[in-house]
């Protein structure tokens, strides 16, 4: 899609991604904040990932007028070159370092817990057994079966216990974010930065149900739901046509092109 405004040709921008990929959401949010219209090309087929990103074998990949780059960090740096304003970093060097560090922490943490959760779901011998195999636990389980209901809510199996342990640690990290943000509108600044893009993208994916139980955990933290809504509103406002400039054309909505989209999930890294 080529967008023209005020007599200047805009580059054609394509974002290649899987159905669920927080790194792609980060890139999409950055493009929207900088009012750069783009189109998504979506596929969960590994052959498409290899074709779109033959060297890195990772998604997202951003294409601008036929030129492509992989790796979300490199892509965001490229976007900042293409459209310097608004910057993704504070003009204060110390604040910019803090924003970059927080963005890296958010990405490392998400991948760590995502991979742990995937590992926890791998079938293992004895998965169906209750997590507590003591005599008292067996007696309690027998009574629960006889009355047809559990006494309290706890993991019903060792497999569920492993998953709930990971979700519990994710909830701790969500509480960390609440403390980091405090009463500020954005992390480390009064305007969105690279830190906000990284955190927002992962929160949106978790809120969408990528890991069961995390959406509820986010809703229990109004500071984070308000942050998500605030970022969403800022992104929508930035990508909307300017009411003050009636000569400017309406900015096209990002349009998805599903290509063999069939597998739901997130890759270990930015991969297919």
As averages over each run of 10 residues, the pLDDT of the chain (272 residues) reads 39 91 95 94 94 92 94 94 93 96 95 89 72 54 56 63 88 96 94 96 95 94 98 88 39 39 38 50
- Paired with 257 in beta bridges are 41
pLDDT in the model for residue 5: 33
160: helix, coil or strand?
helix
Per-residue pLDDT, 92: 95
pLDDT at 162: 83
Q: What is the spatial distance between Cα 242 and Cα 105, in angstroms, rounded to a whole number?
A: 35
Rounded to 5°, the CA angle 138-141-143 comes to 110
CA-closest candidate to residue 166, choices 213, 122, 209: 213
Mind listing the domains of the chain with CATH numbers? 4-258 (1.20.1050.130)
DSSP 125: T
- The predicted pLDDT at position 204 comes to 96
* Structure token pair of residue 187: 């992390």
**pTM for the complete prediction?**
0.77
Residue 61 tokens, joined: 């990949």
- CB-based contact 2:51 (threshold 8 Å): no
Predicted local distance difference test score (pLDDT) of residue 143: 56
The DSSP code sequence of 68-114 is: EEESHHHHHHHHHHH--SS-SS-SSHHHHHHHHHHHHHHHHHHHHHH
């Amino acid at each position: 899609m080529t967008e023209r405004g005020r007599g200047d040709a805009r580059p054609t921008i394509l974002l290649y991604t899987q159905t669920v990929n927080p790194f792609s959401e980060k890139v999409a949010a950055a493009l929207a904040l900088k009012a750069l219209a783009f189109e998504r090309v979506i596929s969960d087929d590994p052959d498409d990932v290899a074709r779109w990103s033959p060297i890195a074998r990772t998604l997202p990949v951003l294409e601008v007028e036929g030129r492509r780059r992989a790796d979300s960090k490199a892509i965001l740096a490229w976007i900042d070159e293409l459209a310097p304003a608004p910057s993704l970093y504070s003009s204060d060097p110390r604040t910019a370092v803090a924003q970059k560090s927080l963005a890296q922490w958010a990405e490392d943490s998400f991948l760590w817990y995502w991979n742990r959760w995937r590992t926890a779901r791998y079938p293992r011998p004895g998965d169906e057994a209750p997590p507590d195999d003591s005599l008292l636990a067996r007696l309690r389980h027998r009574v629960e079966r006889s009355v047809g209901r559990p006494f309290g809510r706890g993991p019903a199996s060792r497999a569920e216990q492993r998953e709930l342990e990971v979700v519990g640690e994710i909830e701790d990290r969500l509480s960390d974010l609440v403390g980091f943000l405090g009463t500020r509108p954005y992390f480390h600044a009064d305007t969105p930065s690279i830190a906000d893009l990284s955190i927002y993208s992962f929160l949106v994916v978790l809120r969408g149900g990528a890991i069961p139980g995390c959406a509820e955990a986010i809703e229990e933290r109004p500071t984070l739901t308000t942050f998500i809504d605030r970022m969403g509103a800022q992104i929508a406002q930035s990508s909307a046509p300017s009411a003050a400039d009636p000569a400017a054309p309406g900015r096209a909505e990002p349009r998805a092109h599903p290509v063999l989209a069939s597998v739901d999930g997130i890759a270990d890294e930015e991969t297919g």
